[in-house]
Structure 1
Amino acid sequence: MTDNGLHNEQELLQQIAGGNETAFKQIVDVYWTKVYGQALAYCKSAPQAEELTQDTFIAIWINRQKLPDLTNFAGYLYSIARHKLLNTIRQKLATTIAVDNIPLEETNWRPDVQMEYRQAYDQLMQGMEALPPVRKKVFMMSRLEGKSYDEIATELQVSRNTVKEHIVKALNFLRSHVATHHDCFFPGVLLLIFLRD
């Protein structure tokens, strides 16, 4: 039996690939809470997290022909969820949503300010790609998967202090990277999503 309670997951994936909706419902029932929890940790909005989770499973269904060839369905699922989350973040930057329910100033609707958000996001993404592989993985697990330091330490079989050290160094690097490549104020929404301590 897998960690998620499915002893016949591969068989279910085969059935889903063939269009079996009952098998698909079983997979959704097992993984929904985990995907939703991770989405909620970063969206801070239950409706938005639910929509993101639904979109993730819709993508699984649409691309169901790929399922029989997967050796790690959970990893595939969470990869799609991360992609959906990044798209959500991009949409936040494009529409300059309110941060913590406090409306942004009207000046933030100006095209030049919108450009600042997009440029800051691009610099952040470039900085993340420049991180050493292990540090990047730890950072993504923390910021995009919503995992705690203890969960990451257990999964990677390292100490909690090692995880914390990776996060601190990643944050320091990203702040420096963005400051070096981005002259203007770093948008608060990115700080809240990625660069919180």
Structure 2
Amino acid sequence: MKAILNEQVLLRKIQEEDDDASFKLLFDSYWDLLFLHALKKTKSRDLAMDLAQETFINFWKYRKRIGEIQNLQSYLITMLKYQFFKWIDQEKIIFDEMDSSQLNTSHTDIIDGFKIMEFNELYTFLMDKIDELPVRSQQIFIQNRFENKTVKELAETYCIAESTVRNHLSQASSKLHAQLENKLLALAFLTLVSA
């Protein structure tokens, strides 16, 4: 992985200026990491390349919505995991935990239960709802959920009490949970009606 001197400047150029050169630098710096991470999980070079590529495509596509990222590596790996889950859903395949090189297709009925909506639609809906949160709640929620920042780290970053961080997370989670639950219930109802 090539080191990026100042990730925050790079991200700002990508998000605010649509700077292709900065995006290429990000791509070159993180491609190997994401590819190897995907290869380790999937045991397939072609699939690993597809997952890593889709991760960068979605990063570019949603760059205006992402907001401030404190740990770019963690953020990209989280996006890669979502791409993997999307692939599982689309292909109706579950990897056997004991040997991920052997595909286990006996659980397709379980996967059908999660076929309520395509991943991209859900991801877009979630990002839209996160955008509706107050700015500080947005920042804290994204850094906690996508970058694995602890309550203590966030309290230090924003110079606020840990209880305030917990309050932001609790309020954001409650709002998002309710909105996602309503969306999923409505889609489930429409799926049953149309079946």
* TM-score normalised by length of structure 2: 0.48
* TM-score normalised by length of structure 1: 0.48
- Return the structure number with greater relative CO, CA threshold 8 A, min gap 6: 1
